[in-house]
Amino acid sequence: MSNKPVLCIQVNEETQLRLLEERHVEEYFVLIERNKEHLHEWVAVEAYEGSVETLRAYVKQRLLQFVNGEGYHLGIWYQNWAIGSTLRCKEKAW
């Protein structure tokens, strides 16, 4: 298995946007846990609450959205450390 990200956008020398993959779940979970108080101000953290396995299922769901062209969930890496993420979902016509 390659360590090369499926999708990686180089922002500058120290910063990358990478598609969140299952192999990132543990690192991402620690990041969320460490920053929950701050995250509550910006997002519904309840979506992330639970176990590592809950987060793994969430990441799998977002990967399927990416494959289907319905959105993406990118992690933000600075100096090879995960520091955040950004999410884009295609709006559904109701």
Q: Is the residue at 94 inside a domain?
A: no
- The parent domain of residue 26 ranges over 8-88
Contacts for 4 with CB less than 8 Å, ≥ 6 apart? none
Q: What is the CATH number of the domain that holds 59?
A: 3.40.630.30
Spatial distance between the Cα atoms of 34 and 45, rounded to a whole number of angstroms: 12
The residue ranges of DSSP E strands in 1-94, in sequence order, are 8-10, 15-19, 71-78, 81-89
How many domains are contained in the chain?
Answer: 1
Q: Is the residue at 84 inside a domain?
A: yes
Q: Is the residue at 21 inside a domain?
A: yes
Residue 89, pLDDT above cutoff 70: yes
Q: Which whole number is the average pLDDT over 8-18? A: 95
Q: Is the residue at 71 inside a domain?
A: yes
pLDDT of residue 87: 81
pLDDT of residue 44: 65
Q: Model confidence over 18-55: pLDDT tens digits?
A: 999 999 999 999 988 888 888 777 776 565 678 899 88
Instruction: Please give the full DSSP string across 16-37, using - where no structure is assigned.
Output: EEEE--GGGHHHHHHHHHHTHH
Q: Is the residue at 3 inside a domain?
A: no
Q: Is the residue at 24 inside a domain?
A: yes
